[in-house]
Amino acid sequence: MTEISAADVAVPVVLRVNGNEYRISAEPRRTLADALRDDCGLTGTHLGCEHGVCGACTVLLDGEPVRSCLLFAVQAQSAEIRTVEGLAAADGTLHPLQEAFWRHHGLQCGFCTPGFLMLSAGVLETRPDIGDEELREALSSNLCRCTGYQTIVEAVQSVRDAGEA
């Protein structure tokens, strides 16, 4: 006899991502990161460690930065999700943070960039007057193996200082 557990049964899930509604069918154990990438086609959310350590999968959930590899898609059903694809304007104009990362060379290989952009957006949108030390502390929760962080910090500081977040 074949056993079927509740974890193997797909359920309907409605995700609101970047102002769009996605109706998917997901097993309760499916992560939000996997649902965004595989079911919604939003591959800007990267998977690095899949343990919530690196921050490459950071998205905004109701305006707060979260690790999408640690959340189940079903947990995000009633929330507004924002991914890196939702930062730029509909006409393609870059978000001030994207522009600043380019201007300050806040990326090298680019793998961690979407996570840093979403973390920075969440921090600056909720705390536009955050101090330098607190900003560095917030940004230290994401990992980058290429830049040494200084150019990332400078990019985010420039947006904060210009009041553009």
pLDDT, tens only, 4-33: 666 679 999 999 999 999 999 999 999 999
pLDDT digits (tens, 9 = 90+) for 110-135: 999 999 999 999 999 999 999 999 99
What digits encode the pLDDT tens for the residues 58-113?
999 999 999 999 999 999 998 999 999 999 999 999 999 999 999 999 998 999 99
State both tokens at 120.
């920075």
pLDDT value at 48 more than 80: yes
Q: Which domains does the chain have, with CATH numbers?
A: 6-86 (3.10.20.30), 96-162 (1.10.150.120)
Mean per-residue pLDDT for 21-49? 97
**Which tens digits make up the pLDDT trace of 147-158?**
889 999 999 999
Query: How many alpha carbons lie under 13 Å from residue 66 in its C-beta half-sphere?
Result: 20
Please give the pLDDT value at position 3. Answer: 65
pLDDT (0 to 100) of residue 40: 98
Q: To 10 degrees, the CA torsion angle through 22, 25, 27, 29?
A: 0
pLDDT at 54: 97
Least Cα distance to 94 among 46, 164, 19, 21 occurs for 164
Both tokens assigned to 113? 């960039």
